[in-house]
Structure 1
Amino acid sequence: MPYQEDLGAALQQLRREVFEAGDYYWVNGGDRRPEEEREPRPRSLEALWEDELVQETGTHSILDIFHVLGPDDTPDYNAVEPVTAAETQELLGVDRLTRAHVKDFDVFPRSRCIGRCAVLHDDAGDPREICFWGHSGD
């Protein structure tokens, strides 16, 4: 995502983009069902989450992540936890992350259904992007 100071707003923008693109697992429209039994995708995120099967299985995408944790919040399901400056320094030995570091992001601790995010900087040290990653499904 392009950088913006409000990580929560960036997350919501990304969720809207993924939903609109249909880039998520739609349990009621799966390829294993005969064509005539497939349901059309919902027209809104709210309608998507009203579906009981979606509530049980999720979408295996960023749509399963609802909010960004603050510095004093306890990690909980369906949230994204920003990488801290201390983690960046301790685990990668740098003060600012860049796109070149993304390949090494597996060093940051994570749990299923709790995403991570990090601000990526350009060569001048200015924030340019926000990288979200994690696993919300199998």
Structure 2
Amino acid sequence: MGASGWEYYVPYQEDLGAALDALRQKVFEAQDYYWDPWDEDNADEARVRPSTLDQLWEDEQVQEEGTHSILDMHRMLRRGEDPDFGTVEPVQPVEAYRMAGTDRLTRAHVQAIEPLAGRRWFGRCAVLHDSHGCPEEIYFWGFSGD
């Protein structure tokens, strides 16, 4: 299938990790992720979607192929921590300035910062501001899945 790009906008909150957790729960509950309903070992039997995130990640096919969504990201990186599989890294002010010419990003800057998420199985997030420079929303984006 190959990797899929994904993006989400959520209302701003100071705790980016909590925002990530809430987004993951919302996407899971909405079933807005890739799920192959067919059992490869038994073509006559459909697979039932899991009822919890833990059950989702117990599924061997999901472990191998991912969900092609924010569900493939498991935690927010702390400042100075190295990016790793399934992590989301916030855009730093120096990156924002280099890519968009400002450290007060808005939706108008999204296209300029999108190249910052060029690696698979790794996400980024950026705080986006309103016209008065106040934090308004968080933009999550990345690529995952096989």
TM-score by length of 1: 0.91
Task: Report the more deviating stretch, 6-15 or 37-46.
Answer: 37-46
Structure 2 regions of 5+ residues with no counterpart? 1-9
2:32 to 23, 31, 36: 23
Across the aligned residues of Structure 1 and Structure 2, the Cα RMSD in angstroms comes to 2.0
1:85 to 81, 89, 93: 93
* 2:144 match: secondary structure: coil
Q: Distance in 2 between matches of 1:109 and 1:69?
A: 14
Q: Which has the higher contact order (CA 8 A, sep 6+)?
A: 2
Structure 1 regions of 5+ residues with no counterpart? none
Q: Which runs of 4+ in 1 moved over 4 A?
A: none
Do the aligned partners of 2:117 and 2:143 also contact (CA within 8 Å) in 1? no
Structure with greater strand share of residues: 2
Q: Please state how far the C-alpha of 1:100 moved relative to its aligned partner.
A: 1.1
- Count of aligned residue pairs for this structure pair: 136
Q: Please state how far the C-alpha of 1:35 moved relative to its aligned partner.
A: 8.9
Question: What corresponds to 2:58 in structure 1?
Answer: 50
1:102 correspondence with 2:73: no
Q: Distance in 2 between matches of 1:108 and 1:67?
A: 18
Counterpart code for 2:93:
A
TM-score by length of 2: 0.86
Q: Please state how far the C-alpha of 1:7 moved relative to its aligned partner.
A: 0.4
